[in-house]
Structure 1
Amino acid sequence: MADRSYTYDPVNTGVPVNQQPYRMEAGQLWRQFVIAGIGNIAIASTGYCMGWTSPVNLKLHQNTTENPLGEPITSDQEAWIGSLLTVGAIFGPFMGGFAASKIGRKWGLLSTAIPLFIGWIMMAAASNVGLIYGGRIFWGLAVGMLFTISPMYCAEIATNDARGALGSFLQLFITLGYLLVYGIGPFVSYGVIAYVGIAFTAVFCVAFFFMPESPFYYLGKDDKESAAACLATIRGRSRAGVMAEIDQMAADVAASMEKTATIADVFRGSNFKAFYISCALVFFQQFSGINAVLFYMTNIFEAAGSALDSAIATIIIGVVQVIASCITPFVVDRLGRRLLLLISAFGTAVGLGLLGMYFILASQHSPVVEKISFLPVLSLILFIVTYCWGLGPLPWAVMSELLPIEVKAIASPIATAFCWVLSFLITRYFSAIAAAAGMGPTFFIFGGCCVVAFFFTLFLVPETKGKSFQEIQDMLAGKSSKPEKA
């Protein structure tokens, strides 16, 4: 058993006495995974909110007791219900960034429960479509806040060898939320779906209340004692055992606070290159049609006339999402970002192309349609799997690596808001475009965007695997970070 009698000497160097034994202090790696997992319960809750439209839209189209509105919704109302969440999400990143800096990452995450609760209460009490509209907007605020704060919190509590895995929790947990609503939504009443959502949020609040704050937040407030205390909890080590790491964190925070940036700096030199690559990647992420597919999953299967029950097919897709999202953390640091993005863009293009072909054949009443009734499910599985490998999680990871620390606080919310503006346009007008042009051509448009994403990645996206932050910045600036040979 390790000797715990060593003391910390705050005088002179600020280095722990007998530092070597504390460097060897093992700690408990599982703690940061548990803490990040509990924090991402809120992300799973947003997945539940985002996937809510898939089973609920069918209930709202009925003229039965399953429909709380008393009458079927119109196609225009359905489009607004699907898209208004993204309207709230446009403003959420700015609220989330403000909350994270003012009240901390922990309380910023907990504050997202407020719009989540308000949204679910409005949904549970909905007797007209206006309340559903309002509930979707409040959910969107929570989504935008969480997509800003949660990755920040996970990155700041993680050790270097666990940061990639914890950073991938967002994609994994959001798919768990989708799977839950896909799994129970078709088989329970509208009200039960809402009550589960309320319980989901309550579980997050109770569990995360006992989790620690990010040490980086305390260091930013020049409170080294509190930072050391919470890092000791996260690492499962003694206070003295984390002081070397705290000293390094404090140096990083001090260095980043020495530099200030304005919005104009985002559009200069290598900063702009990082920014436009980040924005382009989130553009391709959204114009792959992912949110249109997920929000209207059941509708797509109904329209396709698939032999498989639409509710069961949607659950299959949800399971595939979860499994596919578990793969990326294990391979991204081996295969690299670019290769996974290329595989993802190619796979999503093929999946969307097959889906578009099926709908065109169906619209022409081709006799072959009956023989390929399995194709919608197969196409969407290919699309979802390859999306979860690259276009889903990696734009956020690449953005965090490309953007310099001093401009990240300004550029990241802008890029995130841009992402949700695109999502709004797609979810709002997907039904209208599909009705006017047909499902087939609509999916061909999305597939064409994935083809463009493939070539954009091939020629313009740099590989960041194995590179230090300084090497990435030198690469963007066209400099060589390696010393020249004599």
Structure 2
Amino acid sequence: MTENRVISLPENEDVKSNNEEVLENRPETLFTYFTIGTAFLLIMVGGSTVVWSSPAVVKMKLDDPNENPLGKPIEAVELSILIGLPTVSGLLGCFIIPKLADIVGRKYTLLAIGSVWLLSLIATSFSRNLIMFTSFICISMALQAASFAAVPIYLTEICQHHSRAKLGCILCVFIPIGELITYLVGSVFSIRDFTLIIASPLVVFLVLFHLAPESPVYSLTKGSVEECRRSLKKLRSNKTEKELNIEYDQIKESLDLQEVKSEFVILTLLKSKEGRFGLLLGTIPIVIQYLTGATLVLQLMGPIFDEANTFAGNTIAIIVGIAKVCCFLLASFLVERTGRKPLLIISCVGTGISTAVLSVYFYLNYINDPVIEDLKLLPLIAVLFFIMSYSMGIGPIPLAVISELFPSHARSVAMSFILMFCGVVLTVYNSSYPILDEYAGTHWCFFMFSFFSLLGAVVIYFVVPETKGKSDAEIQQILADY
């Protein structure tokens, strides 16, 4: 399979050098940024959807029927269902829907996701019982998982490889932006109104994304040479015709060398050494990301920190949302300078320390220790440090790196496989948390987050390779030699 990733260039060294300069040093065009930014609206709505439960659960715990559409406070088992079942639906979304990208194309798959998602969120806003809320949030979470798998594939195939990591981290910035929007509007508006507000970017997406081109890589895989050339011309308007021909030839040659039977892609990956290690190394950072507890903390920020008896949970959520956006932006500029691996290790250590501090605080609160009155600022400081650490590495980098590990013909299947497996981990985690929190205490949950974060740092140090500045062929060679 390694040989299938080699992109052959002309033998003449002068030509080769010139080609590399053309393909690696040209900036992305404004139209490319417009296209990418429009696709990132799906990621932003995904961030809003993931933390929808944070302000929603706060309202669902109230006795006031004007605030709580359920009419009565939600119970622990009901809460477990509300945050657990949508994660299961996410497994189907990340496994089935992205496969459409190989059938109908990247562009029309994303448009289909946006259309159904909009209808689902509108239905959620008018729900009045647990079954309706759970059903429509399940649909939304399936589409969120699908978008998190499909958008990075589209991004990888329309941008130049020297821009992948930076744009991949910027993609991840849209996740906390979406989360911040939910925290802001969710603390002010009713469940119906804030759900409609977080759905509104999908209207913009559906209008503007019709102007986006199909992925040139996908077009060429389907034998549509003219569409591939048109897409390249739109995306690379700062290149000459000769330069466009060079890029087209390299895409074509790369695809020619990657030919496999598409229906057996996952079997092909499992049979080859680089495929197996690609799946393993793509899975490890995502699993560690979930085990740090970040997903649960963000989903239940409001109710968790209401329990801390300091600041209001929604207030902390808004402060955290702002900090997360800033740190994700900073990470997008650091990732190509420092590399992926150092940021991932530092990030895991930081999340481990901060959740350990929170574990101690929640324990002191649990036993009603009087010293807790002098530590009111500690949860805010610790959670800000947690979010800063998470946002500088283990948050944005795993999703940005996964698509680098696989050739173009295998990306959608590999992404779906990895996200499906990780979704199983997240489902168990999410479903168990409300019950574990109820019977063991919040302090034990945060101790568990701390342990897995520090363990993750050790695993990344010894197992995960650095891919900074590596081409597709070089990454495949690293996996083959692993």
If the length of structure 2 is used for normalisation, what is the TM-score?
Answer: 0.89
In the aligned structure 2, how far is the partner of 1:236 from the partner of 1:404?
26
Structure-1 residue corresponding to 2:103: 102
Please say if residues 181 and 198 of structure 2, whose CA atoms lie closer than 8 Å, have aligned partners that are also in contact: no
Per the TM alignment, residue 418 of structure 1 is displaced from its structure 2 partner at its CA by 1.1
More divergent stretch after superposition (142-151 vs 233-242): 233-242
Find the counterpart in structure 2 of residue 116 from structure 1: 117
Query: Alpha carbons of 1:172 and 1:35: their partners in 2 closer, same or farther (altered >3 Å)?
Result: same
1:58 is matched with which residue? 58
Say yes or no: does 1:267 pair with 2:263. Answer: no
Q: Which residue of 2 aligns with 1:232?
A: 233
Which residue pairs with 1:332 in the alignment?
Answer: 335
Unaligned segments of structure 2, at least 5 residues: 1-17
C-alpha separation in 2, matches of 1:215 and 1:87: 33
Show the counterpart of 2:284.
280
Q: 1:412 aligns with which of 415, 422, 427?
A: 415
Aligned mate of 1:350, from 327, 333, 353:
353
Query: Which structure is larger by alpha-carbon Rg, 1 or 2?
Result: 1
Q: 1:131 to 1:445 in 2, by over 3 A?
A: same
C-alpha distance in structure 2 between counterparts of 1:37 and 1:176, whole Å: 13
| SS of aligned partner of 1:305 | coil
Counterpart-to-counterpart distance in 2, 1:456 and 1:27: 36
Within 2, Cα distance between the matches of 1:144 and 1:249? 28
- In the alignment, the residues of structure 1 paired with residue 408 and residue 217 of structure 2 have an alpha-carbon distance, to the nearest angstrom, of 13
Aligned positions of 1:297-446 closer than 5 A: 297-306=301-310, 308-404=311-407, 407-446=410-449
Out of 296-305 and 396-405, give the one that drifted further: 396-405
Residue pair 1:119, 1:139 contacting (<8 A) in 2 also: yes
* CA deviation map 1:115-151 (0-9, x unaligned): 3123213212212111101111101121121011100
State the match for 2:78 in structure 1. 77
CA distance in 2 between partners of 1:157 and 1:356 (Å): 44
Report if aligned partners of 1:28, 1:236 keep a CA contact under 8 Å in 2. Answer: no
Equivalents in 2 of 1:409, 1:234: separation in Å?
22
- Decide which moves more: 234-243 or 286-295: 234-243
Following the alignment from structure 1 to structure 2, what is the Cα–Cα distance between the partners of residues 248 and 266?
23
Partner of 1:39: 39
Shift, 1:374, TM fit = 1.0
Measure how far apart 1:340 and its partner are.
0.7
Which residue of structure 2 aligns with residue 48 of structure 1? Answer: 48
1:413-453 CA-to-partner distances (Å, cap 9, x unmatched) read 11111121222112211111111111111111111011111
Query: What letter is aligned with 1:217?
Result: Y
* Deviation at residue 276 of structure 1 after TM alignment: 2.0
**SS in structure 1 opposite 2:161?**
coil
Partner in structure 1 of residue 12 of structure 2: none
Q: Partners of 2:208 and 2:35 in 1: how far apart?
A: 10
Q: How far, CA to CA, are the matches of 1:398 and 1:315 in structure 2? A: 28
Aligned-residue offset at 1:257? 2.3
Q: Is the 8 A contact 1:122 1:134 kept in 2?
A: no
Separation of aligned partners in 2, 1:89 and 1:349: 27
User: Residue 481 of structure 2: SS of its match in structure 1?
Assistant: coil
Contact 1:27–1:235 (8 Å) recurs in 2: no
More displaced, 315-324 or 75-84? 75-84
**Aligned residues of 1:361 and 1:369 also touching (Cα < 8 A):** yes
SS in 1 for 2:393: helix
One-letter amino acid matched to 2:389: T
User: Is the CA contact (8 Å cut-off) linking 1:87 and 1:420 kept in structure 2?
Assistant: yes
- By how many angstroms is 1:44 displaced? 0.5
- 1:113 shift after superposition: 1.9
> Contact conserved, 1:90 with 1:144, CA < 8 A, in 2?
yes
Cα distance in 1 between the residues matched to 2:31 and 2:119 = 32
Looking at structure 2, the residues matched to 102 and 141 of structure 1 have their Cα atoms a distance apart, in angstroms, of 19
C-alpha spacing 1:452/1:256, structure 2 compared with 1 (3 Å): same
Contact 2:166 / 2:335 at 8 angstroms: preserved in 1?
Answer: no
Distance 1:96 1:270, change over 3 A: same
Give the drift of 1:222.
Answer: 1.1
- Residue of structure 2 in register with 1:244 after alignment: 246
Which whole-Å CA distance do the structure 2 matches of 1:406 and 1:33 have between them? 24
In structure 1, how many angstroms separate the alpha carbons of the residues matched to 2:473 and 2:249? Answer: 20
For 1:125 and 1:408, how far apart are their aligned partners in 2? 37
Q: Is the 8 A contact 1:283 1:422 kept in 2?
A: yes
The Cα of 1:187 is off from its aligned counterpart by 0.7
Matched, 1:257 2:259: yes
Shift of 1:366: 1.5
- 1:229/1:239 contact within 8 Å kept: no
> In 1, distance between residues paired with 2:404 and 2:26?
28
Q: Deviations over 1:344-389 (max 9, x none)?
A: 1100100110110100111121222111111111111111111122
1:246 maps to amino acid: Y
1:271–1:404 CA contact under 8 A, matched in 2: no
SS in 1 for 2:67: coil
Distance 1:26 1:347 in 2: 36
Q: Tell me if the contact between 2:149 and 2:412 (Cα under 8 Å) persists in the aligned partners.
A: no
Which string of whole-angstrom CA distances, capped at 9 and with x for unpartnered residues, describes residues 8-37 of structure 1? xxxxxxxxxxx99xx699786232222111
User: Cα offset for 1:83?
Assistant: 2.2
Q: Which amino acid aligns with 2:289?
A: Q
Aligned in 2, Cα 1:398/1:376: closer, same or farther, shift over 3 Å? same
Aligned-pair Cα RMSD in Å:
2.3
Alignment of structure 1 residues 107-186 onto 2, 5 Å: 107-186=108-187
- Paired residues of 1:93 and 1:148 also in contact (CA < 8 A): yes
CA shift, 1:93, in A, is 1.8
How many angstroms apart in 2 are the aligned matches of 1:242 and 1:403?
24
CA contact (8 A) 1:120 1:198 kept: yes
* One-letter identity of the residue aligned with 2:293: G
Change (3 A) 1:71 1:136: same
Q: How much has 1:215 moved relative to structure 2?
A: 1.0
Q: Report how many residues are paired.
A: 459
The structure, 1 or 2, with the larger RCO (C-alpha pairs under 8 Å, 6+ apart) is 2
Q: Paired residue for 1:195?
A: 196
